[in-house]
A and B are shown apart, each in its own frame.
Chain A
């Protein structure tokens, strides 16, 4: 019987295992070194904040694996020998495979800052990082400094606030999540960060982390020379693929494990996906790293087909993502970049409470919509995707916005306010469709 061995029990590896099991009877083993059972990395913050226990973070009950004949090995793969098709584990055991999937995820970045290895300095990616964070914040922390203005940084800030630890948030760019969010949205998030009492410092880079006599962090110094006393430093300046264990293997790596559009590596019968995979693109373009929950899952669905004999290309489809900045939810569909690209124009609406906004980026000439960002309003994934595929224009989006609305019942509706903003900005007289009336909504 073919033996499929998967390294890494994150969303990527587990999705492959589940889908292969649905399609085939082959022997499946997952080896992972972080936790015995698959858990949701996306919920790490909720464990620290006391919203959930580890039990609640496991998407499948423990009996699931045996029932589906997926063998779990709790160990670390230290060496991959693709000639003899053997893996060496840290415990000394060896496992041979017929097909191998590398889904080893990421680790957080350290950019060689002086003092980055001091006690009390850490990033957040794994369950062990979370345990360390518990330890590092168990003693009184008068201030924490977070370095790096991305998604994990703001999550870490929220986590610390629930322990009543004051937070200073250093962001190198001139706005929060500057590479991704346009100015208006970045500003909206900034207001909200400040509203939560977080000391946000834009255009500020970490210079050095200073130790006390016991080798614990006592302060950071920014590049402009300001010293900020603190007892905890969070490093949240991005993540990078976990590939070190492949150093002396024949599997080709760059920033991550290099794969083609079928998620195949340079070695036959060895595949990779998820955070650790670097997808090669045509000459001239930068290879893609897709470090998201969603992409890991979608890649897993595709790779399971390839492994079970139906070689299938991974196509990303229409882009989507979502996040939550403290109390404000965010969704994005299609392509919205930090700065408009050539030939693009934008429409922006913001509610006067500064907690809801909509940005639509469209083609300057045809007005066909290229992408949208939405904050504080939930939109329907299927409707947005359909409209983007059908190349609907800006006016169509705004007129029919109510159809895409996914907010809970009784919520305030924003559609006409959005249309009014459009009318003012573009000199039009658009009337947005409204919610179905009471009777229509009951019987329709």
Chain B
């Protein structure tokens, strides 16, 4: 409070902790090495030991790499060297990582038999949680959750000066770990449907398909609750929450896809394409996918209410095509596999039908906007560079205009990286949110 507190006259020496960080990296690499080795099947005899060794060294290694940052200097925006690092600027390392993740998705969706040896490593964990052996989806869920939680720690350390980022990241970590992993598996242990409470139609498109309806309705009380939960979330909670908070309540606070993008994907957010062209493509694609899934849903219901008689195999073909093209190829292979090349939100931006719905509501009936602070913008471009949705935030800020874009997931990074305090995510009166401020003459 008072200015009389004596300040230190000495400069601070900062410890060089790069040695410790290297140990962390080495541990992570060791974990992956063991993982590759165990693909040969040698781990099957000792699954518990191997899963502890593999996941333990990946998790501990990540922490050992990340935590020293706390001691490396004051908190702040430290995007240093991102565009020089091969891993984060589409260099060779990024291509290796991209090919590895893409390859994993291809095996996962279409050739799970090749993942057999890895899946078996997770049997002990799977039995402990769900009472049954592991499947490829259990393997996937484990990888996914570890990525969200441990890269989430990294995100929190990076933005430790920013409470919005801390709380938001903790939220996606919580929802992934609890609702995206533990709860569905524990439900299985109690012979209940493996249900994901945080996914709804149209993202989890089959939750409103007739076969889900039958599946859940036949599973007794909890199943009925689940079906109605899904329907209520889609038709009531989604519009209401988006009206009050914008699409961020879901996309950057709850959703698992968003959760992965905000944690594992954070180092790649600058790779999104900011061009006008990309925005035009985005609008066609995302609304196209929404139309596709809406038509598919209607067709499968029509088909089932006519007992499959009228449309014959057509509805099956529709939903299978959707599942292959959108559900697997787009959201997984391209959506995550291409993180290191195209940025972290390719699926969310170009493909996700849930994002399309939320975006339409956000654009036309929402209290959310990013306010531009008077004439303070210096057009530096940090906001646009780090917008994972490829929104040219600067284009708005420099003309004194609020940012209201269907695609904005409200991650708040633009506001965090802005060096002049120009941007603020806010909910406020709907009237006038599109008005220009009069500090900049347009």
Binding site for B on A (CB under 8 A): 11, 19, 40, 42-43, 46, 49-53, 56-59, 61, 162, 184, 187, 190-192, 194-200, 293-294, 297-298, 301, 320, 322-324, 326-327, 329, 331, 348-352, 354, 378-382, 385, 406-412, 417, 420-421, 441-442
Contacts and interface: CB of A to CB of B under 8 A. Distances in A.
Given A51-B80, A301-B440, A381-B439, 4 more contacts: A43-B378, A59-B398, A409-B163, A412-B163
B421 interface: yes
Interface stretch (B1-9, B219-227, B320-328): B1-9
Interface in B50-102: 73-77, 79-85
B7 A199 contact: no
Q: Is the interface of B mostly helix, strand, loop or mixed?
A: loop
Contacts of B164: 408-411
B162 A42 contact: no
Contacts of A197: 11-14, 73
B163 A348 contact: no
Nearest to B426: A409
Interface residues of B, number: 63
A354 B85 CA distance: 34
12 contacts: A43-B378, A50-B80, A59-B398, A194-B11, A198-B11, A320-B375, A329-B419, A331-B420, A349-B1, A350-B2, A408-B163, A442-B244
A228 to B, nearest CB: 14
Contact of B415 (A322, A380, A408): A408
Nearest to A418: B1
A187 B376 CA distance: 25
Nearest to A424: B1
A42 B376 contact: no
Interface stretch (B144-152, B288-296, B308-316, B380-388): B380-388
B128 interface: no
B73 A43 contact: no
B425 A192 contact: no
B3 A187 contact: yes
B10 A194 contact: yes
A293 B73 CA distance: 30
A385 B373 CA distance: 12
Interface string B377-415: 011111011000000001100100000000000001001
A181 to B, nearest CB: 13
Contacts, number: 169
B23 interface: no
A192 B10 contact: no
Contacts of A421: 1
Interface in B343-385: 371, 373-376, 378-382, 384-385
Given A49-B81, A191-B7, A194-B10, A40 B163 contact: no
A326 B375 contact: no
Given A56-B384, A301-B441, A352 B375 contact: no
B161 interface: yes
Nearest to B372: A381
Contact of A297 (B371, B373, B440): B440
Contacts of B441: 19, 301
A19 B440 CA distance: 11
B439 A351 contact: no
Contacts of B161: 327
B167 interface: yes
Given A42-B378, A196-B73, A406-B424, A50 B373 contact: no
A412 B167 CA distance: 13
B416 interface: yes
A411 to B, nearest CB: 6
Interface in B1-46: 1-3, 5, 7-14
B1 A351 contact: yes
B416 A408 contact: yes
B8 A191 contact: yes
A293 B439 CA distance: 14
B7 A46 contact: no
B381 A43 contact: yes
Contact of B3 (A52, A350, A407, A412): A350
Nearest to B244: A442
